[in-house]
């Protein structure tokens, strides 16, 4: 299968919102701004951009709600489980959260933005412990 015909599926946490992305994914960008940290509850949002013609909702009834700040900054969430959802801000491309994808993306984070406002605890820690599953002790 060539990269243009490749299709990958994604879902929100509860599975009510399903979508498909066609074609090659060039790379993932990670935003570390304070808004992305707050909306994700983590060090930032990891997203990739997809041209509108290569994005398709598979759910008949997309269950989503948009939240917008006075500044115009906005995010979209599943009304059932609260997961972030892909959204087009300009009608040309979708911003797709990498963590929503159900299949390997065969790429990596290639860009970090707003690093000047990165959380002080969000640093590479080569001495951090790593586990394949949850560690309870």
- Would you say 57 and 51 are in contact if contact means Cβ atoms under 8 Å apart? no
- 86 part of a folded domain: yes
CA 35 to chain centroid, in Å, comes to 14
- CATH number of the domain that residue 103 is part of: 2.170.150.70
Residue range(s) defining the domain that contains residue 107: 7-117
- 22 part of a folded domain: yes
pTM of the model: 0.86
- 2 part of a folded domain: no
CA-based Rg of the chain, rounded to a whole angstrom?
Answer: 16
Summarised one tens digit per residue, pLDDT across range 61-112 is 899 999 988 998 889 999 999 999 999 989 999 999 999 999 999 999 999 9
Summarised one tens digit per residue, pLDDT across range 5-30 is 689 999 999 999 999 999 999 999 99
Copy the structure tokens of residue 40.
């994700």
Q: Nearest Cα to 11, choosing from 60, 66, 83?
A: 83
Please give the pLDDT value at position 1.
Answer: 42
- 59 part of a folded domain: yes
Summarised one tens digit per residue, pLDDT across range 34-54 is 999 998 889 899 999 999 999
Please give the pLDDT value at position 73.
Answer: 87
- 129 part of a folded domain: no
- 105 part of a folded domain: yes
The strand pairing partners of 28, in sequence order, are 109
Task: Domain count for the chain, please give it.
Answer: 1
């Amino acid at each position: 299968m060539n990269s243009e015909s490749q299709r990958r599926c994604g879902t929100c946490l509860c599975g009510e919102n399903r979508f498909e992305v066609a074609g090659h994914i060039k790379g993932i960008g990670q935003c570390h701004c304070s808004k992305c940290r707050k909306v994700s509850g983590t060090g930032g949002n990891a997203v990739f951009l997809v041209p509108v013609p290569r994005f398709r909702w598979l759910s008949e009834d997309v269950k989503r709600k948009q939240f917008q700040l006075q500044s115009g900054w906005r995010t979209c969430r599943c009304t059932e489980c609260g997961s972030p959802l892909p959204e087009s801000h300009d009608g040309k491309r979708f911003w797709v959260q990498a963590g929503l994808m159900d299949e390997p993306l065969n790429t990596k984070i290639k860009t970090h933005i707003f690093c000047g406002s990165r959380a002080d605890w969000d640093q590479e820690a080569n001495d951090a412990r790593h586990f394949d599953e949850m560690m309870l002790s």
